[in-house]
Each structure stands twice: as C-alpha cells, then as structure tokens.
A and B are shown apart, each in its own frame.
Chain A
C-alpha cells in the first residue's frame, strides 16, 4: 500500500483524547474485496487445494497466538475462531470447488458463504458468529491474494498511528499504549467507540478526520489529540513544539491534586467511569474520588450464560473496596442496542435496536436477571466502607423509576437512582425526582435521542456535539429539578471529560462529574481555576447561544483560566 496517497500537509478532525502522538501510519484494512465469481485456477487442483488449506491453517495458528497473548475471555473467542478455520466441512467444500476448477480465493469465499447463510438464518447467538466467520474468511483471502491482513498488527517495531474508517471493539482487544501512538478515524464522533477507548487507554485520538484513510501507509504523522490536527511528515521542529506544549500542559495538570472544587471552594466530586475492576488502578492513579459510572454489562458481554451470583458479588466488592469512604455508582446491566447479550435476546425483531427493549426495559422482561444483580450488589455492599448507589439505564417514565426503586429497596439497597438519557425523563425530571434518590445524566444517549442522531454515525457527529444548546437545556432541566427536590444530579457522559464543558455543567447545577480516568486531571485543574460564579456565567452564555460553536465560544469567554492550560 506504500507509495499511494498524500504524504505532506495537515488534515483536521475533532480531537477527542488529548496528547501528542507520533508514528508511522498503519491503515486498518476492513474490507477485503470479494474474489470475482468464475475465477479459475491454472489446472493443478491438488496444489490449489493445498494452497487454500495452508492459508486456513496459517490463520488458525495466528488466531491461537493472538488468543494466548490476550488471555481470558478473548482467548476463548479467538480459539473458537481457530476451530472454525480448521473445520473439515469447510475444507471439504473448498476441495470440491477447487476440483471443479474454481480458484482458491473464490472457493474459500463460496465455501464460507454456505455456512454463513446457515448461521445468519438461525438468528441470535449464531447470527453473531457470522462476524467471526467473515473475519476468518477475510484473513484467509488476504493471505491467498497477498493483500494486507485485516486487523491490528501486534508485532510492530515501534508504536504506530492507527488509521481506520472507524474502529470496532474486536479491532482493539489487544491494543495498548505500547503499540499505538495515536488513533485517527475518518468517521466517528466524540462518543464513538474509538473516542471512549482512546480516553480509557490515555492514547491521543482524532475522529471525523476527512481524507485520513487516503494517507499512504508508513507515512510518519504527528497527531494532536487536543486540537484535532494530523500533520503528515512533520519536521523535527514541529514535533518538538507539539511535544513541549503537551509537556507544559501535563506539568500543570499533575500539579492539581485533591478533591474536585471550584476556585472558591464549591465541592464537585470528580469520579471515574469504569467497565470493571481492571480500570480501578487508572482511576485511583488519576485521583478519582470514587466511581460515578460502573458499566456492569462488561461482566455479561461475550458469554453464553450470565455470570453467577458469586462472580458478580466478587467483582462488585473489588470495586467498592477500592474507594473506602468514597462513593460507587453502579449502573445495572445496560444490554441491548449496540451491546446485545447471547442469553438475553430481545423478545422480538428490532428494526431499530437503540429504540428497542434495552436497559431497564429488558429487566421488565427478565426480572430474575435484575433481582440476581441487585441481590449480588446488596451482599457486596454489606460490610463495605464505600457508599453504594445503584441506578438503572433507559428510564423514560415515573412508573419505571418507581418500579426500579422498589426493587432496590426490596433487595436492601440504600440508594436507588436513574440515568437521565431519554429526553422524556429530563423534561419530567421533577416527577422522577420524587421517587428516586439521585440522577446521573448520560449525555451521549441523551444527545442521540434528543437529536434523533445515531451515535455510531460519523456523518451526524455535529448533532452529537454535547455543546448543542438544546442538550444544555435538558441538562439544566434535570439538574434544576433534582436540586428543587433535594436530590443530587451528576453527569457521567463523555461531556464531563471536556474540561471547558465540565465548568459549564457545574454552572448548570450538576453536582458531580464522572469520566474516563485519564480526563480527571485536566478537569480538576480547570475547575480549580474558576469560581462557581464564573461557571454560572459560562453556562448562561452557552445556553444563550444559537449553535454549538457559538455556545463553546461564549462559554470560553467567561473562563479566563483556560489559557494557562492551553485548552
């Protein structure tokens, strides 16, 4: 692929994870073209068949090696894929096609196609295996036709800048800061999987960067995850300037410590979003005062049966024990939509899963799963020194909130809250505040539902912009209703990770902020440089603006401390 595309100039996207990354471009190839129908081999069927089977075996060995490296659940998944690559039924099909003169690439494609149809037709768990099968097929065809291997290299000589149209969770299972210098995607918004993952890893990232997938593989690029610039073949001086600015900023950030508060001492607890006990070390290292969003679905994903009561209790206790005296906000299982579970399929066909039976709605269909989770949480909380708060996702009405709060009380849990992520809940927050103990605003889904703009679509990133004044209005409505009812209202969406927006959220009346751990120092330092009054003024100015861009600019004008931090 080298030698194609631009090698000089600057591309600009949206910076979603700050920091500076430098390295050679690795293009993540996703689409392996279909080998043309009717392509024939030279005549030696035995050799052609051997070529196909060798490629499959090579893919199987590679999958096993990646599994051994990843360990845990990922290893099970990758080893199951290796078994598929060695499937005798597949080999028989290829053998028959090659005997008829079909070229190896096409024979592989067609033979996989037969099983693909069988699995896709079965639906549910089996339909989800189609992606695994396609991955093996594409790897095999890439090997046979000398195309770059799909997926992320794990043996690069130096950290690379990973460029893709968008990233899927499967692409990133084995990534770490040691191998990836930065992420840049052509699509995706501030709440895309790429952005969330990059912040969790502390890797600089730029999304919605038009034209970046045309950059030639191997070109050195300098990525600034704060400004969103991607400089091709930078000079040494340009690299030095970018690195110095990043280092100066890092020094200021590390100087800010202690509990989150404004310059005039108004306390705003700064909490971490986590997916499991594995994220605790980063949370503690970045000074989190507790957990503001524990996404428990990661305990349930990629497995055929629900985790046992004991396994759940152990995971919850580990998290609670990390913050003695602090708070831990646990979100109950948020399955459905982009996070389907094999053992909790939606009751029917869902043409629009984001608007389907997900979150708390799935609990109404499977109350036994909710009761098991709430029970495990109550047992983990007993004897813990952390303050446990449990909340439900996807609550639209007061009746749903009441039902969940009642279930929490029955389980013996002290505090029950809800996520505010459906506009109906924000608009009627005063009703909801009467039946629950706290709110936590999920700005990503709230924006998706308020603007009817799919989170996964880069083309709609503008509507996903958390600076949209309509979104700020909804946050204000929820926070005001909570305050009037004597309840608290936090934000646990990605909006809280933007230091400038964090000040605005505080000005809107939000009482705590929760974010990916690496974002905590910048938010802490920014809050510490501004008074509560300045935050109020910034929030008022932002809500008075007509567009997201104007809201951002209007708020910044009231926050003079941003310059110190080069924000």
Chain B
C-alpha cells in the first residue's frame, strides 16, 4: 500500500483543470487508487464526479492511496499534480 499526504496548492483547489488532469492520470493506471480528505471517506480517484464532489479547496490536505504494481510511482505522480500551484 502506497500513500501520500499533500496540500493542494492550486488557487482553484482540486476543481476545473487540476481535477481533470488528476483524474485523467489516475484513469490511465491499471490499479485502484483513491483520494480522501484527511480523516474522510476515500473516493475513486478515477471518477471526476467523485473527485469534484469532495470539494477540495486550496490549502486543504488530501491523502492519495494505491495498492499493486507501480503504486509508489502512481501516488508520487498524483501527489505532484495535486500539489502543483
């Protein structure tokens, strides 16, 4: 199980283009990957609607988790997208 905790930096939060890039990248992976607010219920990171509905704002912390082949690499990439300004 690979896991990263990051602070969302984009001014728009994890909405609009940052959310689209995040989900498109997650969707390409062959393994399951989730996104959660700290202490919250994880949602499918490949679902744009679920990610949008989390309503992650700038400055909030999220946890990205994946399990399986390439999980480390995947959460690393997604963490970089989520924390990009």
Residues of A within 8 A of B (CB): 76, 79-80, 83-84, 87-90, 115, 118-119, 122, 125-126, 129, 133, 303-305, 342-343
29 residue pairs A–B, Cβ–Cβ below 8 Å: A80-B16, A80-B48, A83-B20, A83-B24, A83-B48, A84-B49, A87-B50, A88-B27, A88-B44, A89-B47, A90-B49, A115-B53, A118-B49, A119-B49, A119-B52, A122-B53, A125-B15, A126-B52, A126-B53, A303-B16, A304-B11, A304-B12, A304-B15, A304-B16, A305-B11, A305-B12, A342-B12, A342-B16, A343-B12
> Which residues on the B side are within 8 Å of A119 (C-beta)?
49, 52-53
CB distance from B69 to the nearest CB of A (A): 19
B43-85: which residues lie under 8 A (CB-CB) from chain A? 43-44, 46-50, 52-53, 55
- Once the chains are docked, how many angstroms separate the CA of A309 from the CA of B46? 35
- Once the chains are docked, how many angstroms separate the CA of A126 from the CA of B14? 11
- Once the chains are docked, how many angstroms separate the CA of A305 from the CA of B15? 11
- Once the chains are docked, how many angstroms separate the CA of A122 from the CA of B19? 16
- A/B pair count, beta carbons within 8 Å: 57
- Once the chains are docked, how many angstroms separate the CA of A88 from the CA of B47? 6
Q: Are A125 and B16 in contact (CB under 8 A)?
A: yes
- Residues of A contacting B: mostly: helix
- The closest CB in chain B to the CB of A116 belongs to B49
Quick check: is B8 within 8 A (CB to CB) of the other chain?
A: no
CB distance from A57 to the nearest CB of B (A): 14
- Residues of B contacting A: mostly: helix
Q: Which of A129, A304, A342 contacts B52 (CB 8 A)?
A: A129
> Which residues on the B side are within 8 Å of A129 (C-beta)?
52
> Which residues on the B side are within 8 Å of A303 (C-beta)?
16
Q: Are A87 and B48 in contact (CB under 8 A)?
A: yes
> Which residues on the A side are within 8 Å of B48 (C-beta)?
80, 83-84, 87
Q: Which of B15, B17, B44 contacts A76 (CB 8 A)?
A: B17
The 9 closest A-B pairs by CB, nearest first: A89-B47, A304-B16, A118-B53, A304-B12, A115-B49, A122-B55, A89-B50, A83-B48, A87-B49
Quick check: is B23 within 8 A (CB to CB) of the other chain?
A: yes
- Once the chains are docked, how many angstroms separate the CA of A90 from the CA of B44? 11
CB distance from B8 to the nearest CB of A (A): 13
Q: Are A89 and B49 in contact (CB under 8 A)?
A: yes
CB distance from A72 to the nearest CB of B (A): 14
CB distance from A121 to the nearest CB of B (A): 9
Q: Which of B15, B20, B52 has the most CB of A within 10 A?
A: B52
- The closest CB in chain B to the CB of A119 belongs to B53
> Which residues on the A side are within 8 Å of B47 (C-beta)?
87-90
> Which residues on the A side are within 8 Å of B16 (C-beta)?
80, 125, 303-304, 342
- Once the chains are docked, how many angstroms separate the CA of A115 from the CA of B16? 16
> Which residues on the A side are within 8 Å of B27 (C-beta)?
88
> Which residues on the A side are within 8 Å of B55 (C-beta)?
122, 126
Q: Are B50 and A83 in contact (CB under 8 A)?
A: no
Q: Are B17 and A304 in contact (CB under 8 A)?
A: yes
- Once the chains are docked, how many angstroms separate the CA of A83 from the CA of B24? 8
- Once the chains are docked, how many angstroms separate the CA of A89 from the CA of B49? 7
- Once the chains are docked, how many angstroms separate the CA of A126 from the CA of B17? 13
Q: Are A89 and B15 in contact (CB under 8 A)?
A: no
B1-28: which residues lie under 8 A (CB-CB) from chain A? 11-12, 15-17, 20, 23-24, 27
> Which residues on the A side are within 8 Å of B20 (C-beta)?
79-80, 83
Q: Are B11 and A126 in contact (CB under 8 A)?
A: no
> Which residues on the A side are within 8 Å of B24 (C-beta)?
83
- Once the chains are docked, how many angstroms separate the CA of A396 from the CA of B50? 43
* Other A-B pairs, 19, CB within 8 Å; known A79-B20, A89-B44: A76-B17, A80-B20, A83-B20, A83-B24, A88-B27, A88-B44, A88-B47, A115-B50, A118-B53, A119-B52, A125-B12, A125-B15, A126-B53, A129-B52, A133-B49, A303-B16, A304-B11, A305-B11, A342-B12
CB distance from B55 to the nearest CB of A (A): 5
> Which residues on the B side are within 8 Å of A125 (C-beta)?
12, 15-16
- The closest CB in chain A to the CB of B20 belongs to A80
Q: Are B53 and A88 in contact (CB under 8 A)?
A: no
Q: Which of A88, A122, A343 contacts B46 (CB 8 A)?
A: A88
CB distance from B14 to the nearest CB of A (A): 11
> Which residues on the B side are within 8 Å of A115 (C-beta)?
49-50, 53
CB distance from B44 to the nearest CB of A (A): 6
> Which residues on the B side are within 8 Å of A87 (C-beta)?
47-50
Q: Are B23 and A83 in contact (CB under 8 A)?
A: yes
CB distance from B54 to the nearest CB of A (A): 9
> Which residues on the A side are within 8 Å of B15 (C-beta)?
125-126, 304
CB distance from B21 to the nearest CB of A (A): 11
- Once the chains are docked, how many angstroms separate the CA of A119 from the CA of B55? 9
> Which residues on the A side are within 8 Å of B17 (C-beta)?
76, 304
CB distance from B38 to the nearest CB of A (A): 18
